[in-house]
Amino acid sequence: MELLVFVVISTIAIASALGAILVKSPIHVMVWFLGFILSVAASFFALKADLLAGLQLVIYAVAIVVFYVLVITTIPWEKVKMFEGFYKKEFVFALPAFLFTVGASIYLVINSRLSNLRQPLPKDNVSALGTVLFTKYIAPFELASFILLIAMIGAIIFGKEKANG
Amino acid sequence: MDKYYLLLGIVLVFIGIFGIIIRKNLITMLVATEIMLNGVNISLVSVSHFLGKVDAQVMSIIVLTVAASEVAIGLGLVVSIFRLKGYEASEEITELRD
């Protein structure tokens, strides 16, 4: 049963990730990307990370995708080329390297021996995660909020420049 | 079982790198970056499931915040570049690539 769930999730994830980087129109890219995000959230549920799956749905599938679509609609596509093609030479050279690295990592991971420290995850994922987040990792948490503050200031500065010029 | 999820994360990171290398469109390149970040998240969560500790999920939350700020800054830059270059095409923006 677990294997079946994994096969379904990974097929959808890899297919929609490849679709997102290969289709032409930016709006179609966003649709493929939305499918990718949903499959990633499903894999978080399968790995018993409930809080992260919820955050994935709320932050990625709602906030970030809507933000992308908003920006895509503000670009005047009658002046900008919708599809600019691929870098041909890079494609020819990158494809064998991509296939080789994927094959090598599949070989290495399948033949690797992970540690035997298998402990069951805590029953209540949200309370366990919150406890660790607000005690042991309080400094990275504060740093993350600082990163968000800097990003907000930067976005405001970009917006002001557009309004003035 | 966790090995396979780890493998899925690694493959997704490589797909993201591949997308950044081959595409010309700036928005698609940002989406490829997001795919890479999600691959890292899946790897972290599978390791957390394997070890039975939630520490890796905390790092995954921090990756989520970095992704949110990356989208805010990156899309602002994309719109600014299109405005600055006079809405031509993003294939002309190759100062850092060449």
Residue A118 forms contact with B (CB below 8 Å): yes
CA B39 to CA B87: how far, in whole Å? 32
Can you give the pLDDT at residue A48?
87
Task: Compare B95 and A126 and report the one with higher pLDDT.
Answer: A126
- Neighboring chain B residues of A136 at a CB cutoff of 8 Å: 55, 58
Domain count along chain A: 2
Within 10 Å of residue A149's Cβ, how many Cβ atoms? 11
Mean pLDDT estimate for chain A: 87
Considering only A2-11, A80-89, A149-158, which range has the smallest mean pLDDT?
Answer: A80-89
Residue A117 lies in a domain: no
Q: Are residues A72 and A138 in the same domain?
A: no
- Neighboring chain B residues of A98 at a CB cutoff of 8 Å: 14-15, 17-18
Can you give the pLDDT at residue A45?
92
Q: Dig out the tokens for A45 from the structure.
A: 């549920």
Q: At what angle do helices A26-46 and B2-22 cross, to 10 degrees?
A: 160
Residue A59 lies in a domain: yes
Largest CA-CA distance found in chain B, in angstroms, rounded? 53
Can you give the pLDDT at residue B33?
92
Largest CA-CA distance found in chain A, in angstroms, rounded? 61
Q: Do A21 and B23 touch (CB under 8 A)?
A: yes
Q: Average the pLDDT over A36-46 and give the result.
A: 93
Instruction: Please report the number of interchain residue pairs, chain A to chain B, with beta-carbon separation below 8 angstroms.
Output: 239
For chain B, which ranges sit under pLDDT 50?
Answer: none
Can you give the pLDDT at residue A104?
93
Q: Average the pLDDT over A145-155 and give the result.
A: 90
- In DSSP notation, B35-86 reads HHHHHHHHHHHHHHHHHT-SHHHHHHHHHHHHHHHHHHHHHHHHHHHHHHTT
Residue A149 lies in a domain: yes
Cα–Cα distances in angstroms (integers) from residue A2 to residues A52, A117, A131, B23, B55, in the given order:
20, 21, 29, 35, 24
Can you give the pLDDT at residue B93?
67
Can you give the pLDDT at residue A32?
94
- Neighboring chain B residues of A95 at a CB cutoff of 8 Å: 18
Strand partners, B23: A86
- Which among A56, A81, A119 is the nearest to B89, CB-wise? A81
Residue A44 lies in a domain: yes
CA B65 to CA A84: how far, in whole Å? 31
| Domain carrying residue A152 | 124-165
Residue A34 lies in a domain: yes
In contact, B18 and A17? CB cutoff 8 Å:
no
Residue A118 lies in a domain: no
Can you give the pLDDT at residue B96?
67
Q: Which CATH class is domain B2-92?
A: mainly alpha
Q: Average the pLDDT over A65-90 and give the result.
A: 80
Q: Are residues A62 and A139 in the same domain?
A: no
Give percent of chain A above pLDDT 90.
Answer: 41
- Domain holding A82: CATH number? 1.20.120.1200
Q: Average the pLDDT over A69-95 and give the result.
A: 80
Can you give the pLDDT at residue A18?
93
3-state helix, strand, coil split of chain A in percent (to 5) is 80, 0, 20
Task: Compare A158 and A9 and report the one with higher pLDDT.
Answer: A9
Residue A108 lies in a domain: no
DSSP type of residue A24: S
Q: Are residues A46 and A89 in the same domain?
A: yes
- Give which of B33, B36, B75 to mutate to test A binding, by max A Cβ within 10 Å: B75
Q: Do B10 and A109 touch (CB under 8 A)?
A: yes
- What's at B17, amino acid-wise? I
Q: Which residue of A has its CA nearest to B77?
A: A158
Residue B81 forms contact with A (CB below 8 Å): no
Q: What is the pLDDT of residues A85-124, one digit of tens each?
A: 778 888 888 899 999 999 999 999 888 887 666 777 778 8
